[in-house]
Amino acid sequence: MQVIVRQLAKSYNTIHVEFQEPLNKACQNAPAKYWVWDGVHPMPAGHELMARVWINEVSKKLDFIKNAN
């Protein structure tokens, strides 16, 4: 599925943000249920993590967004 999403992002010249790897990494520091309550839908901490990842990735490509770090 991710291969198709990456291809679509490239063909439409959009920014693709990968969330699985950052979530996997976060699960090394806190249990998965802290980040996602059912394995799919984020908890508040998961939403914050995804927002930070999105801001960091998009800010690399768009000058008007500053890095969230």
Q: Rounded CA gap, 45 and 48, in Å?
A: 5
Q: Which domain covers residue 45, as residue numbers?
A: 17-69
Split into its structural domains, the chain has a count of 1
| Confidence band, pLDDT 50/70/90 cuts, at residue 61 | confident
**Residue 32: inside a domain, yes or no?**
yes
**Residue 68: inside a domain, yes or no?**
yes
**Residue 38: inside a domain, yes or no?**
yes
Q: Tell me which of 11 and 65 has the higher pLDDT.
A: 11
Quick one: pLDDT at residue 1?
77
**Residue 61: inside a domain, yes or no?**
yes
Q: Rounded CA gap, 35 and 39, in Å?
A: 9
31 with 43: CB under 8 angstroms?
Answer: no
Least confident interval from 28-32, 42-46, 53-57, 61-65:
61-65
Asked whether the predicted pLDDT for residue 35 surpasses 90, the reply is yes
**Residue 5: inside a domain, yes or no?**
no
